[in-house]
Structure 1
Amino acid sequence: MNMQYGNQQGRRGMGFGGIRWWVLLLFAGYAAYYWFSNRVDDPLTGEKVLIDQSITPDDEKALGLQAWNELQQTEQIVPPSDPNARAVKEIAARLIAKIPQVSDALAAEHGMQAPHIEKTFDWDVNLIQSEQVNAFCLPGGKMAVYTGLIPVAQNNNAMAVVMGHEITHALLRHGAQRMSEQKLAQMGQMAGAMSGMDQQQMQAVMAVYGYGRALPYARKQETQADEMGLMLAAAACFDPQEAIPLWERMGQASGGQAPPEFSSTHPNPGTRIQNLQALMPKAMEYRKKFCETAQ
């Protein structure tokens, strides 16, 4: 008796679990091409980073300005005459003034020249009335500090460390890097959908990508911002050693509610403190070299 295999029409090219592996291979090839053709050297960190060549600093600046205008309409801005608002603006001015020197010094460490994209920035900083313990700097130089950060920072030195960190995200073009990484992730999702993966398989693949690539990459960006931000604060005559008690207070402010590091976009406070302690001799050298008058 012959076994009835049924009609195999329509299953050609299908593999285990009904997945079209040739589709995945095609997308993998394109993703590899995209990866290698958009890798550039970052003079400020000495590392190769992924930045889509179609995303220019002007594009980032336009997106930053759009977000800034929307923020102005939705958030409560503290008046410029407020003493805390004035203090934040003064800290920002001191940090911004040292960007050229710090950028040149960091790039020289890697045998490269700094890109100085800060020359195109239209700097502005606002203090926002909010309980959030947060601050950010958008591409193009628009900065915001939330009043909830003030009692945790406690002093101008610690505030400068935080603001230097946020400024660095913009200088290192971390926004463009995240957009490029997201494009890779979207390629993967499209490949999975076209290959016949079911929802459970897609979720498993994206979880592997998240834990194995996306989250570690985000934590690496935070570490890079910590380093350059610390150097900026030191060069601007702030005390970089205030970064250690700052992150101790940040850990206390989170109330132990932070997720485990492996599942977070940020290093935990303990890891940050270790990294910053290791960087402290370098920061003190930057302070000695670039701080003309200790304040």
Structure 2
Amino acid sequence: MTATAPEGEAIAAEQAAGADLAGVVRQQRRVCADPDIVELLTATGTALAARVKDKRRSFEFVCLSGDRPEAFCLPGGFVFVSRPMIELCGSSPDPLAFVLSHEIAHILEGHVLQRMLGSAVLRVATRAGAVKYAVNGALGKLGVDYLEKAYSRQQENAADALGLRLTCAAGFDGRAAITVFEKLAALEQPNGPLKYFSTHPEAQERIAHLRRLLAERQKRLTDANPQ
């Protein structure tokens, strides 16, 4: 189905607003310019973005310096990942691919925009100026740290599911998603600096959900290609 003009305008407005917000993030956080890190991040992100069906959307992947693993996204296709998160993923691009695809999924599903604007605003903000004004106003009031706050459990599960499909569609190993959560859970201490699962559904719950999704995917592949 072809998108209507208002839908196209809304996507363009979301991207413009996201670009403004990305500028704010770059002002508040230090960007990591390590060439090897940037190359890995860009290559992995580009491979995932190529599998997104809606070609009106574009994506930008940025590495931030920091002292803890984190990843978050902005409306319009901007994905930020900390260097510690990339290092936690190791030399293989597969775990990083899931981290990025999970954030891409939040963008595609509209979760980040819904959270910042609220559903009532989102329903009426179809004109470029309205969307951009509302998004910028939301960030001004809430601050960049708000972008790392929790999504609902339903949204996280939806992003895990779509992210896993995107990861596999781009040729990466979806099983690496479980590796990511296991490593994050191992790092988190009750009084430590890493609080990833204090603002996300529990690690074991996410892992169990991903295992079910992987098993279902394997069954579909087996049924489609019986020996």
Q: Structure 1 length as normaliser, TM-score? A: 0.55
SS in 1 for 2:175: helix
Paired residue for 1:88, among 16, 26, 41?
A: 41
1:180 paired residue among 97, 118, 121: 118
1:128 match: 64
Percent of residue pairs bearing the same amino acid type: 27
Offset from partner CA, 1:168-224 (integer Å, 9 cap, x none): 0000011232222587xxxxxxxxxxxxxxxxxxxxxxxxxxxxxxx8x71110110
SS at match of 1:266: coil
Q: What's the offset of the Cα at 1:150?
A: 2.2
Q: 1:139 is matched with which residue?
A: 75
Q: Which has the higher contact order (CA 8 A, sep 6+)?
A: 2
After TM superposition, the structure 1 = structure 2 runs for residues 89-238 of structure 1, keeping only pairs within 5 Å, are 89-100=42-53, 116=54, 119-154=55-90, 155-178=92-115, 179-181=117-119, 218-238=152-172
8 Å contact from structure 1 (residues 241, 280) kept in 2:
yes
Q: Is the 8 A contact 1:136 1:166 kept in 2?
A: yes
CA distance in 2, matches of 1:156, 1:173: 26
TM-aligned CA deviation for residue 282 of structure 1 = 4.2
Alignment partner of 1:126: what SS? strand
User: d(CA) in 1 for partners of 2:167 and 2:218?
Assistant: 10
Superposed displacement of residue 285, structure 1: 7.3
Measured after TM superposition, the shift of residue 283 of structure 1 is 4.3
Question: What's the CA shift for 1:72?
Answer: 2.2
CA distance, structure 2, for counterparts of residue 268 and residue 136 of structure 1? 18
Matches of 1:70 and 1:161 in 2, distance apart? Answer: 26
Following the alignment from structure 1 to structure 2, what is the Cα–Cα distance between the partners of residues 58 and 285? 39
Gaps of 5+ in 2: 1-6, 122-149, 223-227
1:73: how far off? 2.4
For the residues of structure 2 that align with 1:177 and 1:88, how far apart are their CA atoms?
26
> Where does residue 241 of structure 1 map in the other structure?
175
Question: Is the 2:75–2:113 Cα contact (8 Å) retained in structure 1?
Answer: no
Q: 8 Å contact 1:231–1:286 — kept in the other structure? A: no
Q: Distance in 1 between matches of 2:105 and 2:13?
A: 18
Q: CA 1:287–1:63 in 2, change beyond 3 Å: closer, same or farther?
A: farther
**CA–CA distance in structure 1, aligned partners of residues 39 and 207 of structure 2:** 29
CA displacement at 1:245 relative to structure 2: 2.1
Indicate how the Cα distance of structure 1 residues 237 and 92 shifts in structure 2: closer, same or farther if over 3 A, else same. Answer: same
**Distance in structure 1 (CA, Å) of the matches to 2:74 and 2:170:** 21
Distance 1:67 1:221, change over 3 A: same
Q: TM-score with structure 2 length normalisation?
A: 0.70
List runs of 5+ in structure 1 lacking aligned partners.
1-52, 101-115, 184-214, 289-295
Compute the displacement of 1:286 (Å): 8.7
- RMSD (Å) for aligned C-alpha atoms: 2.9
